[in-house]
Amino acid sequence: MSNPDFITSNFPIINAGETSKRLAQILPDIATWQQSLRNVPGIVLSRWEWKRFNGDDFEICGIPHETGMYQMCDQNRNLRYTLFYNQNTNIWYQGDWYGLRFLALYHHAASCQAHYNFATKCLAIPVKQRWPELYERALVLASGQLPTYQGNWLLYQNVSEEVAYQLSQKLNVKYEEALICA
């Protein structure tokens, strides 16, 4: 049996405030986040088979030349890496899968959206527009729970309006009130 006095005297707990709000405040906007991703130099394009993400799925393509998310496959079409290519800078980026998919949607001017229910403090995001892991972390910290699925939506519970709005702005997501989380 543990002694609560022993724990509090030997392991002081520091109140850091509401970490979801603090994280939402310090996270960069989507363009700055992209720049922080790991660059993957020296890719010999002709050595690989390529599949390009079309917004829903991956399609076989030739040598990548357009900005977007790609799968790099060996000659047997076995997946090796999923990467993001920026044609303006000629840089390949590596990151979390959902983050790269979100980045591809962002660069193709997809209308990403988030619906917030003020009464229930629930944020709903389309499953196919799941946010980069770093931004999703702030949503999960708000309640300490992973999102739940409701049809084609991810529901994040107990998210403050401030956090939901701030992250939506940083990710260039259309933010609106809705009753999806009712």
Q: Could you read off the pLDDT of 21-68 as tens digits, one per residue?
A: 888 899 999 999 999 999 999 999 999 999 999 988 999 998 999 999
The percent of residues in the chain predicted with pLDDT above 70, rounded, is: 88
For every residue of the chain, which 3-state class applies, written as one string? CCCHHHHHHHCCCCCCCCHHHHHHHHCCCHHHHHHHCEECCCCCHHHCEEEEECCCCEEEECCCCCCEEEEEECCCCCEEEEEEEECCCCEEEECCHHHHHHHHHHHCCCCCEEEEECCCCEEEEEHHHCCCHHHHHHHHHHHCCCCEEECCEEEECCCCHHHHHHHHHHCCCEEEECCCCC
Band of residue 10 on the pLDDT scale cut at 50, 70, 90 = low
- pLDDT at residue 15, rounded to an integer: 46
Give me the chain's average pLDDT, please: 89
